[in-house]
Structure 1
Amino acid sequence: MYSMAKNLLGRTRKIRTWAWGLLGLVLLAAFQIRTHHLDDRLYYWINTYWHTEDWQERSVWLPAYRVELDAKPVSGVDNNLSGLTFDPDRNLLWAVTNGPNELLALSREGDVERRYTLDGFHDVEAVSYAGNSQLVIAEERRQSLVIVDVPVDADDRLTPGHALHRDQYPSLTLSLGKADNKGLEGLAYDLKGDRLFVTKERDPRQLLKVHGLRASLENDFSLRIRDLSSMVEDKVFATDLSSVVFDQQSGHLILLSDESKLLIEMTDQGKVVSFRSLASGFAGLQSGIPQAEGVTIDADGNLYVVSEPNLFYRFARESD
């Protein structure tokens, strides 16, 4: 009898050990699913799949994109390649670095055409073309937006590399809480609607809309700022926001997440339309994009991503 009781007790202890182990694995799996928003990704994958015909022809439609230039090092840049924007008036890209603070003119092949020192700027993180030969440059820790003239001559040709001095340009400072390394990360300008979208990376993630920037620069001061962060909190299944671009053709926003390795397309009303993973094996990528910092889209619909330290990616939409 004693032997049977001892064996039963031993089996009970083993069952309890297995039960606690299984519970631990379930809790760990649940934590990972919520942390990486895997349940949200599955939901939106199913949702976008069932609505492909509704959105595919009137959106950017990220699932159709595959990489053309994969992790091309940008020559002459060693580190800290950050924000990116497309200049439709000159058919080129502008990028910034934040150590040293520089403005770079890039070809659509990722080659440096000009580089300009940003004198007096601090912790430059993002850039967006705002039309009228002007760029908006974001300083992360200062939470400032500086409006810079594109460095061109009278014939609209890029001038030789020289310094751009911050004290020569107008600026706007936004108060987004504590000034730290989780501040202004992304800028996207709507050329038609005179709207500038601004993202804060995290803690918390924020999305702001600054309306009337162009009008204010032309002495018709009518600046209005609206907080759209609730759309991000409710719908965007990413842990950070490292960049944003506004697509002029569809009127949609494309949000970039470094930590989640995601591109997410959403309407300016907050509806998620499509998304694309930037992890290894997706979109034809040989390796996942290591630290994606900037995204933009050109007039032909090509998508560009830059990543620290100095990597350049170009994606094209596949034809049906």
Structure 2
Amino acid sequence: MISRILVLFAGLSMSALAMAQPSLNLSGYTLGYQFRLPGQPGMAAETSAITYNWDTGTLFVVGDEAEAIVEVSKSGEVIGSMKLSGFDDTEALTYIGNGQFALGEERTQSLFKVTYEADTTLRRANALPAYSFGPYSNNEGLEGVSWDPRNNSFIAVKEKNPQAIYEANIDFNDGTGSHDILFDAALLGVLDLSDVQVLATVPSFLGTGLDDNLLVISQESRLLMEVTRTGEILGSINLRYLSGAAEGVTIDENGIIYVSQEQPSVFVFLPPTPAVPEPETYALMLLGLGLLGFAARRRRIA
């Protein structure tokens, strides 16, 4: 009888795990530390975007004053910078490998492929052609972008009026491509969209289901969310007591999350330890104990 109960428990466990959507468990993340960014003119004043370069193990930030792309360590030490010339209101930045980035302008909703070279100046005319996500938008356009290494696509967010989350395929050789609405952004119930991060950039997440999830941040709602590609919210971190101007997010290979704010500085959130079971694990443990207790009672009655 006990063996049959255990077989049943195993079957229920597998079914529960199959139905459970993999999640980062943002509620288990803790604020590890905060560091300031170089805010002097020509550096990262009014930081609007942050991205992680897995080839160098460093962070790159850009301010909406479009003055420079700045490389910093994970604790904020400046490593180098590349000046920008001719760009306007740069709000989106994502690393795409081999020292290259996609850099987006909010108002023109243009996305450029650029190569980072420290101590040089990148001129906008030399970054053309660019891909356009739509017509000119007065400070409500392209706000964030993240590259998906699995299929070389991009997820991008438009801030508001209307909010939008796009999936795009782009050929930067001639600026052609296409983009479609990934899901209805209204499902998230936030006041604006400020940035997005694809979790598929974390190697250990590939093939686990986590790689399909996204991190989405809302500056005005002061909320960092983990969402599915159908718009289901899996978890969140309330930023209300930390910052009113957090608008950039990225993640490294260890699952550590970096949130940038305009001030400029970065909040570093550390993941929960693997030894702490997820909520569904607790449920399965309780289910197992209940079934074993039931089996023991049956034996005593028999």
Instruction: Tell me the TM-score normalized by structure 2.
Output: 0.75
Equivalent pair of 2:226/2:233 in contact (CA under 8 Å): yes
Change (3 A) 1:218 1:103: same
Correspondent of 1:66 among 26, 30, 44: 30
CA distance in 2, matches of 1:124, 1:186: 10
Structure 2 counterpart of 1:299, from 244, 249, 253? 253
Cα offset, 1:308, TM superposition = 0.9
CA distance in 2, matches of 1:115, 1:222: 29
Aligned with residue 86 of structure 1, among 52, 75, 91:
52
| Cα distance in 2 for residues equivalent to 1:244 and 1:120 | 25
1:257 aligns with 2:211: no
Number of positions where the alignment pairs a residue of Structure 1 with one of Structure 2: 246
* C-alpha distance in structure 2 between counterparts of 1:227 and 1:77, whole Å: 38
Change in 2 beyond 3 A, CA 1:181/1:217? closer
Aligned: 1:174 with 2:174? no
The equivalent of 1:276 in structure 2 is 237
Give a deviation string over 1:248-294, Cα, whole Å, max 9, x none.
122211100011111111122322211121122xxxxxxx2120121
Structure 1 residues 176 and 168: CA distance shift in structure 2, 3 A: closer
Q: Distance in 2 between matches of 1:83 and 1:192?
A: 22
Mapping of residues 111-122 of structure 1, within 5 Å: 111-122=77-88
Across the aligned residues of Structure 1 and Structure 2, the Cα RMSD in angstroms comes to: 2.3
Within 5 Å, give how 1:90-169 maps onto structure 2.
Answer: 90-151=56-117, 159=118, 161-169=119-127
Contact 1:104–1:115 (CA under 8 A) maintained in structure 2: yes
Q: Is the 8 A contact 2:198 2:215 kept in 1?
A: yes
Structure 2 runs not aligned, ≥5 long: 1-15, 277-302
Residues in 2 aligned to 1:218 and 1:76: alpha-carbon distance in whole angstroms: 34
Q: Deviations over 1:114-146 (max 9, x none)?
A: 121111111111100112321000011111101
- Inter-CA distance 54–196: structure 2 relative to 1 (3 Å threshold): same
User: Larger radius of gyration, structure 1 or 2?
Assistant: 1
Alpha-carbon shift at residue 85 of structure 1 (Å): 0.7
Runs of 4+ in structure 1 over 6 Å off: none
Give the distance between the partners of 1:75 and 1:224, measured in 2 at CA: 36
Task: State the distance in 1 between where 2:39 and 2:139 align.
Answer: 25
Residue in structure 2 matched with residue 290 of structure 1 by the alignment: 244
Counterpart in 1 of 2:7? none
Decide which moves more: 100-109 or 82-91: 100-109
Contact residue 101 and residue 123 of structure 1 kept, 8 A = no
**Cα distance between partner residues in 1 of 2:233 and 2:194:** 17
Match in the other structure for 2:285: none
Letter in 2 for 1:237: G
Structure 1 gaps, min length 5: 1-49, 152-158, 281-287
Residue 238 of structure 1 aligns with which residue? 190
Q: Secondary structure at the match of 2:20?
A: helix
Is the alpha carbon distance of 1:254 and 1:299 closer, same or farther for their aligned partners in structure 2, counting shifts above 3 Å?
same
The structural deviation recorded for 1:69 is 1.4
CA contact 2:160–2:192 (8 Å) conserved in 1: yes
Supply the distance in 2 between the matched residues of 1:238 and 1:115 (Cα, whole angstroms).
34
TM-score (structure 1 length as normaliser): 0.71
**Range that drifts further, 60-69 or 167-176:** 167-176
Contact 1:239 1:257 in 2 (8 A): yes
What is the rounded CA distance, in whole Å, between the counterparts of 2:144 and 2:127 in structure 1?
20
Match of 1:313 in 2: 267
Aligned to 1:224: 178
- Secondary structure, counterpart of 2:130 in structure 1: strand
